[in-house]
Every structure is written in C-alpha cells, then in structure tokens.
Chains A and B, each alone.
Chain A
C-alpha cells in the first residue's frame, strides 16, 4: 500500500508523544504528569454561552474568518492585554485551535526550499508543518543556561539568504521559558535587518508568573511582519472547543484566509459563541487559574530542587523541564523506566526535538495532592537509581 502514499508524509516521524501515550495508556494506576492541557474544566459561564448557542439553533456556518462579533471582541481584548490594535475586518482570522493557525500561516508564506527557523525544544507541530509545506526546517537549539531564551547572536548565526521566517513560541511548551522585552528587542533588530517574518505562537500568553507577557508584535516596526497566534485552549481552559485565532497584516491575511476557507471553511460555530463570553467576561477566570498554577509552580520547583534534579525556574505556561543527564539514560529510556517502575508518566524531552534530549517535561496542571503523590514516587525512583549507580 505504501507505494500509493505521499513520500513526504511517509517520511514524517510519528509524534514521540503518541508512542509514549500508547504505552502509558495501557498501564492501570498510572499517575500522569504528562498532560499538555489545563486541569480546570471550562468556566461554567462560558460553557453556558455554548449551551445557549446550541439551544437557540446557532448551528450554521459562520463567515470564513469567524463571527464578526467574536473578531471584534478578540480585537478589544488584545488591545486591553498587549496594547495592539487590529482591524476586525481584515487583520484577524478565527481558527480551529492555535494548531490550524500554525499550519495555514506556514502554508501561506513558504515557497519550496525557503528556510524556516524555529526554536527547539518546542511544540511538536512546527517541524512537521514546515516539512509538509515544503520548507526547510532550521532548528535553533536553546540552552538551559540561557533560560531557554533565544539570543540575537544565536539567531544571526543561522540566517542565510534563504531564511524566510522565525517561529517563536513564548511562554514556551515544554520549557516554561518566557522572553522579556529586552530579549525581544534584541531579536527584533536582527529580524528587521534581514527582512524576516515572525510567526509568534503566544497560546500561553495569560500564563506568566511575576512578569507581564510581552508580544514581539508590540515592538516598534514589528507588527506588520508578525503573524501573531493565540487561542482559547490554555488561557481559558477550552482545549476541547478547538478555537484559536491569528492576527496578521491584511495582505498576509487575505492569502491565509484562502487556505483556511478551502481547508476548513470556518471554526466551530458553537465554540465561537462560547468564546465571545470568554473574551467579554473571562479575565477573572484567567487570573484565578494563573494564581493557582503559580502556587503549584512554586511547589513543584521547590520539590525538584529538593530531589536534586537540576531545573531551570520556569516563568510561564505550566511545565518544568528538569535535566536527567546524571542517570546516563536517554530521555525516552528514563521516561519508560519511570513509568514501568513507579507508574508515573512524564514526557521525554526528545519528543520536543533533538535538543530536548537529556530532559523530561513535567506538567503541573495537576492538584497539589496529585503532585505530592507523583513526587513521592519520583523520589523513590531517583533514590533507587542513585543507589544502583554508586
């Protein structure tokens, strides 16, 4: 059968997470710290707005770019949050999650053999989406000692004549890193100098701790060259609703809308109505969830230190990315062994690109009690390993 299939797709590696999921899912009594979504259910007033939409028969397609009312509310919200003004008529598109936005943005801008720069470790979709759109992926390896931030120098070093776009994702999954304004300023200079575009995936923008989120699009001269992606999944605990959005210059947007129109038609209508409520009245919910994540973040960070696992202190999202190199195992071996011995599921760092090797991703979108139980098991596991290694 394979000879009938696309070479490009055949050559894609299946997601490392998928493989791990298949194993973990079969083990009874497993306690998971492997989930990349909030533990909160969608706030009830937002669910109610979805229910009302269904009850009143809002079951039709919407405009390709989304309900006008929603686009307008997203623009208002974005203006309040990061001070950027976008035109709801021609600079925004409502998508099926942030994931669709990544895909269509890449498909809209890539010509074959364009080089696409992206940071690593990072979300699992960038590389395959670049490949599917015929781009040449150019990973930029981030370092724990730089707090997993990208420097202007690192960027400058990989730029060639064929470089087209830089994909940024801060706050970052899986490292929990953020970029501060000064870091972004440094990048912006390089980006402008080499006339690059930016795809900035800011899906965790509400989840920073102690420092305000800064969008690269808000820096001087950057708005027009930035495709800004955000969504409802993480900020409003709406993963299953599949709803995101993307802002871009109207000339980019016009082309991107075609891809969306032919591939998707429009984002789910009921989800769009619920999202209007999230934009209008959801800021309290986001603040509440942020405070709760922050408590768990402090707790988990303290505990990882106590267990002697070197870990960079994350300032965003809901992940920690500790270093497990002292055990001399690959991150996949480590995660499999931990699962087998203590029934704790974490995600091997290598699932987020080669530079994630030697690390594991631990999610703290879990209650303190669940974290406690999992940490007790991890502690037991580490002790055994360390004793065996002596």
Chain B
C-alpha cells in the first residue's frame, strides 16, 4: 500500500526536519517544486505545526524542572472543555495540554525554573481556576525518551566495518 505524498513527506520530516526540499524530493522521487508546494500547504493548514529541536537540557546543566499536573474539573457540557483548555493553554508555563479519559480530566505538562516556581504556578494559577476541583502534581526525575527519541547517547553502530 503506497502512502500519499503528503504522508511520505510528513514521515520523512518527522524524523529529520533539517532535510532540504531538494533532498526530500530526491528521496521520494518527485520534483522539488512539488515538495515545496506540499510543504507550504501542510504549513498553512497547520498540519505541520512547527520545526523544533529535541534537546536534553540536563546534559548542559540546565536546572529546568518539568512536572505533569493532573487536573480534575467540574463536569463540562457543550464546549466547556474547549473553553477551559483555551484558558489553560495561554499560560506560558504550560508546555503540553491534553484532555484525558479516566480518573482525571486534563493532563498539563508544566516547565519552570525550580520546584517552588512550579508549585506556586499550580496553586496560584491552575488551582484557582473556578472549574478546577483538584490538582495532583508529579515532578519528573529523569527523562529517558521523548517523542520516540532515546536520550541516551544513542546506539553505536554495532555492525562490523566491512561484511559480505
């Protein structure tokens, strides 16, 4: 089953967003112009939402703190969750926001300089939102893997240098 060109471009970019349009065109066997147009389209429709770099800040001694905060909110009707989400995602401290099934409603990933800063943000900003009933904060200790990428040194090529 051949996937569509858009899908192929997205898969290639998802793994390596530094490839040039020309390189992508060669890899997929299509014209550079086509790739350019597809990507422009994917950007304007916000299917491609950004090009970021995955960094292990721990290794540069950055004392950043990340926490996952579970939020339980009063049951919402209509577009209640959407409205609430819009409120929460405006905070610059909020890095990631998901609506969840299960024991709580929102999972909020929060980043700050230290434990105190995050704690103050959770109690002062998140917990004080009218619909929020309770919060539970989990601080991360070690990051092993993010977005499918191993934060270890990466696996060395264990193959022998030359084989038949």
Cross-chain contact of A295 among B27, B155, B160, B162 (Cβ < 8 A): B27
B19 and A34 form a contact (CB under 8 A): no
Q: Is the CB of B162 within 8 A of A368?
A: no
**A296: Cβ under 8 A from any B Cβ:** yes
- Contact residues in B for A291 (Cβ distance below 8 Å): 8
Q: B-facing mask of A349-371, CB < 8 A → 1, else 0?
A: 00100000000000000001100
A124-B8 Cα distance, complex, nearest whole Å: 36
CB of B124 closer than 8 Å to a CB of A? no
Instruction: Give the one of B12, B19, B23, B163 with max A CB within 10 A.
Output: B163
Q: What are the interface flags for A3-47 relative to B under an 8 Å C-beta threshold, 1 for contact and 0 otherwise? A: 000000000000101001100110000101011110101000000
Enumerate A316-337 residues with CB–CB distance to B below 8 Å.
none
**B44-72 interface with A by 8 A CB criterion:** none
Q: Is A17 a contact partner of B26 (Cβ separation < 8 A)?
A: no
Checking B26, B27, B28, B159 against A35 with a beta-carbon cut-off of 8 angstroms, the contacting residue is B159
Number of chain A interface residues as a range: 20 to 34
Q: Does B17 contact A (CB under 8 A)?
A: no
- B161 CB within 8 Å of chain A: yes
Q: How far apart sit A125 and B8, CA to CA, in the bound complex (Å)?
A: 38
A368 touching B161, Cβ below 8 Å? no
Contact of A302 among B26, B155, B159, B160 (CB under 8 A): B26
Which of A15, A39, A302 contacts B157, CB < 8 Å? A39
User: Which residues of chain B have C-beta atoms less than 8 A from A125's C-beta?
Assistant: 164
User: In the bound complex, do residue A368 and residue B159 qualify as a contact, i.e. CB atoms below 8 Å apart?
Assistant: no
A381 near B: Cβ within 8 Å? no
Cβ-based interface call for A123 (8 A): yes
Distance A361 CA – B12 CA, assembled complex (angstroms)? 26
Chain A positions 69-94 with a Cβ under 8 Å from a chain B Cβ:
none
Q: Nearest residue in B to A17 (C-beta to C-beta)? A: B164
- On whether the beta carbons of A30 and B161 are closer than 8 Å, the reply is yes
Flag whether B16 is at the interface (Cβ < 8 A).
Answer: yes
- Contact across chains for A17 and B162 when beta carbons are under 8 A apart: yes
The answer, yes or no, to whether A61 is at the interface (CB within 8 Å) is no
Q: Are B159 and A369 in contact (CB under 8 A)?
A: no
Contact residues in A for B26 (Cβ distance below 8 Å): 298-299, 302
C-alpha spacing A124/B160, complex, angstroms:
17
A41 to B158, CA, bound (A): 10
B1-40: CB near A (< 8 Å → 1, else 0) gives: 1000000100010001001000100111100000000000
Q: Is the CB of A299 within 8 A of B27?
A: yes
**CB <8 Å contact, A35 and B12:** no
Residues on A facing B (Cβ under 8 Å): 15, 17, 20-21, 24-25, 30, 32, 34-37, 39, 41, 123-125, 173, 287, 291, 295-296, 298-299, 302, 345, 347, 351, 368-369
Sample (30) of A-B pairs whose CB atoms are under 8 Å apart:
A15-B164, A21-B162, A21-B163, A25-B160, A25-B161, A25-B162, A34-B161, A34-B163, A35-B160, A35-B161, A35-B162, A35-B163, A36-B164, A39-B157, A39-B159, A41-B155, A173-B164, A291-B8, A296-B27, A298-B26, A298-B27, A298-B28, A299-B26, A299-B27, A302-B26, A345-B161, A347-B162, A368-B16, A368-B19, A368-B27
Residues of B within 8 A of A (CB): 1, 8, 12, 16, 19, 23, 26-29, 155, 157, 159-164
